Amino acid sequence: MDDIPQKSGLAERLLAGQTAALARAITVIEGEGPAVSYLLKAIQPHLGRAVVVGFTGPPGAGKSTLVNAFIAEMRGRGKTVAVAAVDPSSPITGGAVLGDRIRMAEHTMDKGVYIRSLASRGHLGGLSASAARVADLMDAAGFDIVVLETVGAGQSEVEMAEMADVRIVISAPGLGDDVQAIKAGILEIADILVVNKSDLPLARRTTRQLEAMLALRIPTDWKVPVLSTNAVDRTGLPELADAIERKAALRESKGARAALSGRTRRLLAQTVAKYVEDHVLRDQSAASEAIVTALQQADIDLKSATTKILTLLNEGLTDE
Ligand SMILES: Nc1nc2c(ncn2[C@@H]2O[C@H](COP(=O)(O)OP(=O)(O)OP(=O)(O)O)[C@@H](O)[C@H]2O)c(=O)[nH]1
Ligand SMILES: [Mg+2]
């Protein structure tokens, strides 16, 4: 069996850059148990080499098409690229999964490209649980660029902001939502704004609106560019790649490992949360029943019930 990474040498094969090992490791990491801990510990010292680039934007903005064009641009620059596409199929465009298969087909013969679609919800309660780990595995496997592609909805931008070194927010004209609808929060996290579908008539207006919104911000050492792309004919891709490389170099010059520790912190937070959840749901002890009953009868509030549960858990741990 290949299920025990210690025995199979999975970590070693992954670190040697074997694609089959990467695929296997992603499957392992999506599960639970000692194999996950072993694998993560084995790769940890090798992390932080890849530049993690987040692409987010509303459904149908052209993220997948743009990422595909970006892969081709970076391959032309001699870089290897791995993509983790989270929630690739949005209800709006429907056929996105099929489209994603087709786009992947362009790169199937290229060992310098690896694309993996991830189901977004369910595991450890969120998008980023597996995305952060998968990004780390891709980093460990030696890819120069790791792309995290997510549909911009609610939490996902914030999560992407924590995980990515370079954050790209894509919009497109004619999606029904005018630029005003781009939440301030999204603008805040963007290192680079992209107006895709530059071939559409309203694209220039969208660009001007975004520039006007950015002008209101307090200047920092990084001026957020608003770039125009046509992902279909691949216009504007060199400029996008240049901007990403500039931002990555700036990060490097500061020695910033913020995104890497962001991924580690999130991994820890989610693992702790899962551990506590499992324990609370399973614990049939009298002490735990008493806390549930007290909460139910409004003898204590939720906050003190939480504290009591954590104390209980902690005592349980020290007994072990
Ligand atoms: N005219 C034009 N169409 C584009 C451009 N980029 C993408 N499209 C089209 O827009 C549609 C949506 O593109 P996708 O790349 O699937 O968009 P997405 O953001 O990944 O969509 P979801 O995965 O559903 O969130 C497709 O029909 C693309 O061919 C562009 O630059 N110009
Ligand atoms: Mg897509």
- Residues having C-beta closer than 5 Å to ion ligand 2: 63-64, 96
Distance of alpha carbon 262 from alpha carbon 264, whole angstroms: 5
Res 105: pLDDT? 72
In terms of domains, do 116 and 57 share one?
yes
| Ligand 1 pocket test, candidate residues 55, 56, 64, 92, most atoms within 8 A of CB | 64
The number of domains in the chain is 3
Q: What is the pTM (predicted TM-score) of this model?
A: 0.82
In terms of domains, do 101 and 234 share one?
yes
In terms of domains, do 6 and 143 share one?
no
Distance of alpha carbon 124 from alpha carbon 132, whole angstroms: 12
- Single-letter amino acid, residue 88: P
Q: What is the 3-state secondary structure (H, E, C) of the chain?
A: CCCCHHHHCHHHHHHCCCHHHHHHHHHHHHCCCHHHHHHHHHHHHHCCCCEEEEEEECCCCCHHHHHHHHHHHHHHCCCCEEEEEECCCCCCCCCHHHHHHHHHHCCCCCCCEEEEEECCCCHHHCHHHHHHHHHHHHHHCCCCEEEEEEECCCHHHHHHHHHCCEEEEEECCCCCCCHHHCCHHHHHHCCEEEECCCCCCCHHHHHHHHHHHHHCCCCCCCCCCEEECECCCCECHHHHHHHHHHHHHHHHHCCCCHHHHHHHHHHHHHHHHHHHHHHHHHCCCHHHHHHHHHHHCCCCCHHHHHHHHHHHHHHHHHHC
Res 138: pLDDT? 96
Cβ(228)–Cβ(203) under 8 Å? yes
Q: Which residues line ligand 1 (CB under 6 A)?
A: 57, 59-65, 88, 90, 92-93, 96, 99, 151, 196-197, 199-200, 230-232
In terms of domains, do 95 and 174 share one?
yes
Question: Is residue 228 a part of any domain in this protein?
Answer: yes
What is the full per-residue pLDDT of the chain (320 aa) written as tens digits?
A: 445 566 679 999 999 999 999 999 998 887 777 788 889 899 999 998 999 999 988 888 899 899 999 999 999 999 999 999 876 554 444 444 555 566 667 777 788 999 988 765 543 334 556 788 899 999 999 999 999 988 765 566 667 777 889 999 998 887 655 555 566 667 778 899 999 999 999 999 989 988 888 888 888 888 999 999 999 999 999 999 999 999 999 887 776 566 677 778 877 887 888 889 989 999 999 999 999 999 999 999 999 999 999 999 888 755 44
In terms of domains, do 178 and 36 share one?
no
Domain boundary among 231, 254, 277: 254
Provide the domain limits for residue 276. 265-319
Domain boundary among 209, 235, 254: 254
In terms of domains, do 178 and 107 share one?
yes
pLDDT digits (tens, 9 = 90+) for 151-177: 765 566 667 777 889 999 998 887 655
Q: Which ligand 1 atom is nearest residue 196's CA?
A: 31
